[in-house]
């Protein structure tokens, strides 16, 4: 063995005698421009060497602690009597960290799915609002998307001051909420924006809480087994395809199907969504579908394209292949077969005017389906397509059926506890005044289960923060979808009912958005009213402002002389029948509206339905009499129940004197249409 030079040996000996130095570290939520809650107990935490003394100083507060054996340390600052700042905060151990421009004020956690995540730049009147001067009293911390199988300690993100260069990317609802609070309180308002579009509440709930409910525990365990089940299925499907001679064949002339200059005179008209089935199309084999897509203006970014398909697809945009899903790469989403794939089209390939979208569907076992229309960005494609067969498999029996794919766990952000682990757990126990929440669209197809899942999540977060009274204020789902000409059941109405049910928990509040939505856009552009209505709740409930914060709430019912008499709470100056507009919003991003056709044209109030023992719902006439609403119809001489605003996109106009809409409700307890739908 070659000996070390004496100098090197001496240096090695000296270095080995020195202790390994681990710098004091803070999680990302503690950074320049942070907002700290004005309260007596403000946790600050981080990592250091085991046994290392750590001192934190802010304003007149200096607190020290010692890192534990695991290198973690935590202490509390008392900021109850502190001014707003700004301050410098120092954290000192063997090294020293200096954080600048720290302010003390009100901190709220904003969470949920896309309507809370929606940035200001994609909302109404955004340009003028973004251009407002810098306002250091409003700040947001945007948590970077992170879905994790196990709880993690930290996040990525940074605090930003509202300014013309940053404001565009703030959560619009959270921004207007902050602005509402600031206007009354005159103190800094900081929002932690931890959101992810298209996600269910179960993803935001801890595994511990989910496992306390048998249905949700079973779902979590089943989804955790999906990777192994998927591999087994893919192996079995590959073997079945080979055994039955149903291998895919390379497309020999893609341009003849996917090109921008294709003679489509021999193609078959096809209406989707639904089964890709029409005269001349094979039940199994390969089928092409295509559509001309009109883009009104040059895209400013790379939009995703979302394809819910049943079949193995290859997607082409203006003749270029942009993505492919095969048996081997099958992911699965929702039920056993449907996949919901998101691809990206480069912005330089999106042309103003006509573009061509072509999809090759390979299906060895059965006709492909498109359960819902694809989307490009926020725009759903049209229903009219063209289709053409490439090749067909023989229709003779194959001997044994194709293996059934497993039910998918979905993408990581859709899976149980993954977003709690990655985007909520790292924030605990950051001092908060409360939580604002906008979510539910992804739970609407199993709205009845949300009666359990939503309060479970609220209680879970309160347990994590060790605050049983943590304020939790949420947006009820806005109106969305086509207007219906007849009353009946509605999964979105059932979801709203489940949200209203969460008000039985202490320190909860609900902002009504029942008239703020758009029928063709699940992301309504009006985010100012939702933010301000959440702000009203907080100002009234947490800051002692004597202001109305809720619309009329159904209280009781009695039946007299064939009429139903309804009483309400939260009338705030009396019940009001707001005049109905001549049009309703369809898609404001494109300036689309439609004429409003009234269901009860002679009635003072719209949105009421009535039924007798036969449970046959019909539209009713309704009028305000004092503090009550009288509902009736000559077609129902012996009514038993009433519903109000009970539709995905209801037409309704009952308000209180404060200009806030009435909470949708029903007086019946008929079985919910989503009763048996489970996560």
The CA distance from 396 to 261, in Å, is 36
Q: Residue 4 CB: number of other CB atoms within 10 A?
A: 11
The CA-based angle 410-414-418, given to 5 degrees, is: 120
Nearest CA among 465, 546, 567, 550 for reference residue 503: 550
Tell me how far CA of residue 170 lies from CA of 163, 165, 174, 234, 513, in angstroms: 10, 11, 8, 42, 20
Structure tokens, 350: 């999106």
pLDDT at residue number 373: 79
Q: Which domains does the chain have, with CATH numbers?
A: 25-78+88-101 (2.60.40.10), 224-392 (2.60.120.260), 553-666 (no CATH)
Tell the residue number behind the tokens 């969470």, with chain if given. 111
Ranges of residues in the chain whose predicted pLDDT is under 50:
1-20, 331-339
Nearest CA among 88, 83, 50 for reference residue 67: 50
The CA distance from 187 to 182, in Å, is 6
pLDDT at residue number 335: 29
Q: Residue 6 CB: number of other CB atoms within 10 A?
A: 8
* 325 three-class SS: coil
pLDDT at residue number 273: 87
Task: Kindly report, residue by residue over 545-563, the tens digit of the pLDDT.
Answer: 999 999 999 999 999 999 9
Q: What is the DSSP string of 619-642?
A: E-EEEEETTEEEEE-TT-SS--EE
What is the model's pTM? 0.83
pLDDT at residue number 249: 87
Tell me how far CA of residue 374 lies from CA of 23, 43, 273, 291, in angstroms: 50, 46, 9, 11
């Amino acid at each position: 063995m070659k000996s070390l030079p004496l100098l090197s040996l001496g240096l090695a000996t000296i270095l080995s005698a020195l202790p390994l130095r681990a710098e004091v570290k803070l999680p990302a939520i503690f950074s320049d421009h942070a907002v700290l809650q004005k309260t007596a107990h403000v946790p600050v935490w981080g990592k250091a060497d085991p046994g290392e003394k750590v001192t934190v100083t802010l304003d007149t507060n200096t607190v020290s602690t010692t890192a534990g054996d695991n290198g973690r340390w935590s202490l509390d600052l008392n900021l109850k009597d502190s001014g707003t700042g700004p301050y410098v905060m120092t954290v000192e151990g063997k090294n020293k960290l200096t954080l600048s421009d720290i302010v003390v004020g009100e901190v709220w956690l904003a969470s949920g799915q896309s309507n809370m995540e929606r940035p200001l730049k994609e909302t109404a009147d955004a340009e003028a609002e973004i251009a407002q001067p810098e306002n250091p009293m409003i700040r947001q911390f945007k948590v970077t998307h992170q879905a994790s199988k196990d709880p993690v300690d930290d996040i990525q993100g940074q605090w930003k001051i509202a300014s013309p260069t940053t404001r565009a990317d703030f959560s619009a609802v959270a921004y207007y909420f902050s602005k509402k609070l600031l206007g009354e309180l005159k103190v800094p308002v900081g929002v932690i924006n931890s959101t992810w579009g298209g996600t269910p509440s179960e993803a935001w709930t801890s595994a511990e809480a989910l496992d306390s409910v048998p249905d949700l525990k079973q779902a979590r365990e089943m989804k955790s087994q999906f990777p192994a089940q998927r591999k087994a299925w893919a192996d079995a499907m590959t073997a079945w395809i080979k055994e039955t001679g149903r291998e895919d064949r390379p497309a020999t002339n893609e341009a003849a199907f996917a090109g921008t200059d294709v003679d489509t005179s021999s193609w078959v008209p096809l209406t989707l969504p639904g089964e890709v089935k029409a005269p001349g199309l094979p039940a199994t084999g390969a089928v092409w579908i295509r559509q001309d897509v009109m883009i009104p203006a040059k895209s400013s970014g790379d939009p995703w394209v979302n394809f819910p398909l049943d079949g193995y697809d290859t997607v082409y945009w203006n003749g270029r292949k942009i993505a492919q899903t095969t048996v081997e790469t099958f992911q699965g989403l929702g039920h056993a077969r449907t996949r919901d794939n998101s691809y990206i089209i480069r912005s330089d390939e999106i042309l103003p005017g006509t573009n061509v979208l072509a999809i090759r569907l390979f299906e060895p076992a059965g006709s492909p389906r498109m359960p819902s229309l694809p989307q490009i960005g926020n725009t759903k494609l049209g229903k009219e397509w063209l289709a053409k067969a490439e090749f067909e498999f023989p229709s003779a029996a194959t001997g044994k059926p194709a293996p059934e794919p497993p039910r998918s766990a979905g993408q990581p952000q859709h899976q149980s506890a993954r977003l709690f682990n990655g985007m909520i757990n790292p924030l605990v126990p950051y001092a908060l005044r409360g939580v604002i929440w906008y979510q539910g669209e992804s739970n609407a197809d199993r709205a009845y289960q949300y009666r359990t899942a939503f309060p479970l999540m609220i209680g879970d977060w309160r347990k994590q923060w060790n605050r049983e009274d943590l304020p939790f204020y949420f947006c009820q789902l806005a109106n969305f979808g086509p207007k219906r000409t007849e009353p009946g059941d509605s999964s979105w109405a059932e979801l709203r009912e489940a949200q209203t049910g969460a008000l039985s928990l202490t320190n909860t509040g609900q902002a009504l958005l029942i008239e703020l939505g758009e029928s063709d856009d699940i992301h309504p552009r009006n985010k100012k009213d939702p933010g301000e209505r959440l702000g009203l709740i907080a100002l009234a409930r947490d800051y002692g402002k004597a202001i109305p914060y809720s619309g009329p709430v159904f209280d009781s019912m009695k039946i007299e002389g064939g009429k139903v008499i309804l009483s309400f709470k939260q009338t705030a100056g009396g019940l009001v029948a707001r005049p109905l507009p001549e049009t309703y919003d369809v898609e404001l991003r494109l300036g689309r509206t439609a004429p409003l056709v009234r269901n009860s044209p002679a009635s003072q109030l719209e949105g009421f339905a009535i039924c007798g023992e036969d449970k046959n719902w019909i539209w009713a006439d309704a009028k305000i009499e004092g503090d009550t609403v009288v509902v009736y119809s000559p077609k129902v001489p012996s009514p038993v129940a009433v519903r109000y605003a009970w539709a995905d996109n209801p037409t309704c106009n009952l308000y209180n004197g404060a200009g806030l809409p009435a909470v949708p409700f029903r007086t019946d307890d008929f079985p919910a249409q989503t009763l048996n739908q489970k996560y």
